Amino acid sequence: MTATNAAKEPIIRVEGLSFKYATATEKALKEINFTVFPGEYVAILGLSGAGKTTLCLSLNGIIPQMVMGEKEGRCLIKGQDTDEVPVREMAKTVGMVFDNPEYQLTQLTVEGEVALGLENLGIPYEEMLTRIKEALKVVGLEGLEERSPMQLSGGQQQRLAIAAAMAMYPEILVLDEPTTNLDPIGKEEVFEVLQRLNREKGMTIVIAEHEVEVIAEYADRVIILDRGELITNGPPAEVFNDVETISRLGLRTPQVTEFGYRLKKKGHNLPEQLPITLQDAVKKYSGVGGKK
Amino acid sequence: MNNMQLIANYVPGKSFFHRLHPSTKIIWVLGALLTVFFIKDPLIIFAFLVVVLVLIKASNTFATYRASLMLLLPIIFGLIFFQIVAPAFPKPWTPLARLGPFVLYNEGVYSALVLSLRIISVASFALLFIMTTYPGDLFTTMRMWGVPYEISFMVTTTIQLIPILQKEMNIILSAQRSRAMQASGFSALLPSIIPVFAGAIERVRQMSMTLESRAFGSSGKKTSIRQLKMGTLDYTLIILTIIALIGIFYLLWINQGFDRSQQMIFPAPAAIILFLGSIIGFFGILVLFARRIKN
Amino acid sequence: MSKNIIIKCEDLHHTYPSGVSALQGVDLAIAEREIVGVIGQNGSGKTTLVKHFNGLLKPTSGQVFVKGINTREAEIKEISRHAGYVFQNPNHQLFAGSVRKELEFGPANIGMSAEEIEERVRLAADFFGLEEFLDENPYRLSFPLRKTVGIASIYAMDPEIFILDEPTTGLDYTRARMVAALIKKLQDEGRTVLIVSHDMMLIAECCTRVIVLWNSRLIGDGTPREIFGNRELLEKTNLAPPQIFRMAEEIGLQHNGKTPLSVDEAVEAVERGERAG
Give C104's contacts in chain B (Cβ within 8 Å).
none
* Cα-only R_g, chain C: 20
Answer yes or no: is pLDDT of A101 > 60.
yes
Q: Per DSSP, what are the bridge partners of residue C162?
A: C84, C193
Answer yes or no: is pLDDT of A191 > 50.
yes
Q: What's the pLDDT band for A149 if we cut at 50, 70, 90? A: confident
Contact between B18 and B60 (Cβ < 8 Å): no
Nearest CB neighbour to A182, from listed C171, C198, C263: C198
Answer yes or no: is pLDDT of A2 > 50.
no
Question: Based on the domain organization, do B110 and B173 belong to the same domain?
Answer: no
Rounded Cα gap, residues A163 and A196, in angstroms: 13
Residues A35-51 have pLDDT tens digits of 999 999 999 999 988 99
Give A180's contacts in chain C (Cβ within 8 Å).
169-170
Q: Other C-beta atoms within 10 Å of A9: how many?
A: 11
Contact A155 C246 (CB under 8 A): no
* Residue at a domain's end among B225, B252, B281: B225
Contact C154 B178 (CB under 8 A): yes
CA distance B185 to chain C (A): 15
Question: Based on the domain organization, do B215 and B283 belong to the same domain?
Answer: no
Contact between A44 and A209 (Cβ < 8 Å): yes
Residue B121's pLDDT is what?
92
Rounded Cα gap, residues B111 and C38, in angstroms: 62
Contact C271 A266 (CB under 8 A): yes
User: With a cut of 50, which residues of chain B have pLDDT below it?
Assistant: 1-5, 295
Rounded Cα gap, residues A57 and B210, in angstroms: 11
Residue A4's pLDDT is what?
54
Residues A159-175 have pLDDT tens digits of 899 999 999 999 999 99
Three-state DSSP state, A77: strand
Contact A62 B209 (CB under 8 A): yes
Residue B105 lies in a domain: yes
Q: Other C-beta atoms within 10 Å of B100: how many?
A: 5
More confident residue, B149 or A193: A193
CA distance B214 to chain C (A): 24
Contact between B108 and B102 (Cβ < 8 Å): no
Q: Of B88, B122, B126, which is closest to residue B105 (Cα–Cα)? A: B88
Give B218's contacts in chain A (Cβ within 8 Å).
86, 88-89, 91-92, 120-121
- Which residue range is the domain that position B282 belongs to? 1-134+227-295
Residue A160's pLDDT is what?
93
Question: Based on the domain organization, do B215 and B160 belong to the same domain?
Answer: yes
Q: Other C-beta atoms within 10 Å of C31: how many?
A: 17
Contact A185 C239 (CB under 8 A): yes
Q: Which helix (H) or strand (E) holds A159?
A: helix A154-166
Contact A48 C144 (CB under 8 A): yes
The 8-class DSSP code of residue C37 comes to E
Q: Taking CA B153 as the corner, what is the angle to CA B150 and CA B154, rounded to the nearest 5 degrees?
A: 85
Give B178's contacts in chain C (Cβ within 8 Å).
54, 56, 76, 80, 84-85, 87, 93, 154
Residue B144 lies in a domain: no
Contact A183 C198 (CB under 8 A): yes
Contact between B58 and B16 (Cβ < 8 Å): yes
CA distances from B155 to A55, B141, B148, C62, C64 (A): 33, 12, 11, 46, 46
Question: Based on the domain organization, do B3 and B96 belong to the same domain?
Answer: yes
More confident residue, A65 or B9: A65
Question: Based on the domain organization, do B110 and B240 belong to the same domain?
Answer: yes
User: Is the minimum CB–CB distance between B182 and chain A shorter than 8 Å?
Assistant: no
CA distance B50 to chain A (A): 31
| Chain A: residues touching B (Cβ < 8 Å) | 57, 60, 62, 66, 86-89, 91-92, 94-96, 98, 100, 102-104, 106-108, 111-112, 115-125, 128-129, 132, 150, 164-165, 168
Residue B188's pLDDT is what?
64
CA distances from B266 to B275, C17, C62 (A): 13, 45, 56
Contact C77 B202 (CB under 8 A): no
Which chains lie within 8 Å of chain C at 3 or more CB pairs, if any? A, B
Question: Based on the domain organization, do B295 and B200 belong to the same domain?
Answer: no
Find, in chain B, the residue whose alpha carbon is nearest to that of C75: B180
Q: In the A/C pair of chains, how many CB contacts fall below 8 A?
A: 94
Q: What's the pLDDT band for A6 if we cut at 50, 70, 90? A: low
Question: Based on the domain organization, do B6 and B95 belong to the same domain?
Answer: yes
Answer yes or no: is pLDDT of A154 > 80.
no
Find, in chain B, the residue whose alpha carbon is nearest to that of A110: B225
Helices C114-127, C99-109: axis angle to 10 degrees equals: 130
Q: Of A208, A205, A174, A176, which is closest to residue A192 (Cα–Cα)? A: A205
**pLDDT, block means (10 residues), chain C with 277 residues:** 83 88 95 96 88 94 95 90 93 89 93 94 93 91 90 95 93 90 95 94 95 95 95 89 93 90 93 68
Question: Based on the domain organization, do B198 and B91 belong to the same domain?
Answer: no
Which chains lie within 8 Å of chain A at 3 or more CB pairs, if any? B, C
Residue B285 lies in a domain: yes
Contact B160 A87 (CB under 8 A): no
Phi, psi (deg, nearest 5) at residue C261:
-95, -25
Residue B293's pLDDT is what?
55
Cα-Cα-Cα-Cα dihedral sign, residues A215, A217, A221, A224: positive
Question: Based on the domain organization, do B232 and B113 belong to the same domain?
Answer: yes
Residue B139 lies in a domain: no
User: Is the minimum CB–CB distance between B236 and chain A shorter than 8 Å?
Assistant: no
Contact C105 B179 (CB under 8 A): yes
CA distances from A264 to A148, A237, A270 (A): 53, 16, 6
Question: Based on the domain organization, do B16 and B101 belong to the same domain?
Answer: yes
Chosen for mutation from B179, B205, B293 (greatest number of chain C CBs closer than 10 Å) is B179
* Cα-only R_g, chain B: 23
Q: Residue C60, class by beta-carbon neighbours within 10 Å (0-12 exposed, 13-18 middle, 19+ buried)?
A: middle
Question: Based on the domain organization, do B111 and B84 belong to the same domain?
Answer: yes
Residue A1's pLDDT is what?
47
Contact between C106 and C153 (Cβ < 8 Å): yes
User: Is the minimum CB–CB distance between B224 and chain A shorter than 8 Å?
Assistant: yes
Mean pLDDT within A222-230: 97
* Residue at a domain's end among B225, B257, B273: B225
CA atoms within 13 A on the CB side of A45: 33
Mean pLDDT within A191-195: 85
Residues A106-115 have pLDDT tens digits of 787 899 999 9
Residues C229-244 have pLDDT tens digits of 998 999 898 888 999 9
Domain count, chain B: 2
Q: Other C-beta atoms within 10 Å of A248: how many?
A: 11
Residue B94 lies in a domain: yes
Q: Per DSSP, what are the bridge partners of residue C38?
A: C196, C211
Contact B223 A119 (CB under 8 A): yes
Residue B140 lies in a domain: no
Chosen for mutation from C38, C42, C139, C246 (greatest number of chain A CBs closer than 10 Å) is C42
Amino acid type, C173:
Y
Residue B277 lies in a domain: yes
Residue C264's pLDDT is what?
93
User: Is the minimum CB–CB distance between C110 and chain B shorter than 8 Å?
Assistant: yes
Residue B170's pLDDT is what?
81
Residue B141 lies in a domain: no
Residue B71's pLDDT is what?
76
The 8-class DSSP code of residue C13 comes to E
Answer yes or no: is pLDDT of A156 > 70.
yes
Question: Based on the domain organization, do B238 and B264 belong to the same domain?
Answer: yes
Residue C160's pLDDT is what?
96
Mean pLDDT within A87-91: 94
Rounded Cα gap, residues B50 and B54, in angstroms: 6
Spell out the SS3 assignment of A78-104: CCEECCCCCHHHHCCCEEEECCCHHHH
Rounded Cα gap, residues C48 and C51, in angstroms: 5
How many residues does this entry show for chain A? Answer: 292
Rounded Cα gap, residues B112 and B79, in angstroms: 7
* Residue at a domain's end among B225, B251, B280: B225
